[in-house]
Amino acid sequence: MFKTRLISGIVLVIVLIATVGIGGPLLYGVLLAASLIGLTELYKVVKVQGQALGFVGYLSAIGYYVLLYLNRMEYAVPLFILLLMLVMAVYVFAYPKFHAEQVTTVFFGVFYVAVMLSFVYQTRGLPEGGVMVWLIFLSSWGCDTCAYCVGVLFGKHKMAPVLSPKKSVEGGIGGIIGAALLGAVFAAAMSRFAGVSVSPWLCAAICGVGGAISQIGDLCASAIKRNHEIKDYGKLIPGHGGILDRFDSVIFTAPIIYYLTVYFV
């Protein structure tokens, strides 16, 4: 299992470096595909995959990405109002085929997966996005790795004993500090080797905040899985699970890094 996880992890990083590094239409297309796959994983959990409700969710996610690509985000709110009306129409006219949880999950899923993930693309498109977009992954996966290491060595107090017994408060703090250090090192490396002037202190602060938020994203995905008694959302990434298993923290971190970059960089 470790070997499989390691190999797939290396492949994932290579794909990530290529797509995020190039950006533009390539990154846009990959994120759209990842969003639709993530929606499929979520909709399978609540059993609306292949149903009219699920179709409305997919159509809305694609519509949102079209608006994003055309830079016509002023139509996003009307799109989501239409999404709400459509899912409620399916709910009432197909009653009692669907339950309220399924309806709310379809609506929630478009935001949770498609909209939140799209902020990777939006961050990459900022003036300093070529550098700052990497903080999304440093603060997410870096925090996760540091939290695990610190938790194994020093963890004593449970962070969420019922939901995730192996996560500790010490590990969570270690993850935030580790993410902040990674952000500072990354900024220093960019300044020295790439000639990009960005404050290590600012990147440390942004990664620290991102690391804290990423842990909520991780626990949120775990809570949904616990509620529905499943281990993984999918099997797309060997050893890691599905899109939502691997990108659960990124989903929460991406919009945070985007807005911190907009306001402070």
pLDDT in tens, 151-184: 999 988 999 999 988 899 999 999 999 999 999 9
Q: Are 252 and 217 in contact (CB under 8 A)?
A: yes
- Residues in the chain, pLDDT under 50: none
Q: Which residues contact 66 (CB under 8 A, 6 or more apart)?
A: none
Question: What was the pLDDT predicted at 2?
Answer: 60
Whether the link from the prior residue into 96 is cis, omega within 30° of 0, is: yes
Question: What was the pLDDT predicted at 20?
Answer: 94
Lookup result for tokens 């509620």: 227
Question: What was the pLDDT predicted at 1?
Answer: 58
Question: What was the pLDDT predicted at 191?
Answer: 84
CA dist 45 and 85 (Å) reads: 23
Kindly list the distances between the CA atom of residue 225 and the CA atoms of 41, 45, 234, in Å, as whole numbers in the listed order.
11, 8, 11
CA dihedral 253, 74, 72, 255 (to 10 degrees): 0
pLDDT tens, position by position, 41-81: 999 999 999 999 999 999 999 999 999 999 999 999 999 99
Q: Report the predicted TM-score, pTM, of the whole model to 2 decimal places.
A: 0.94
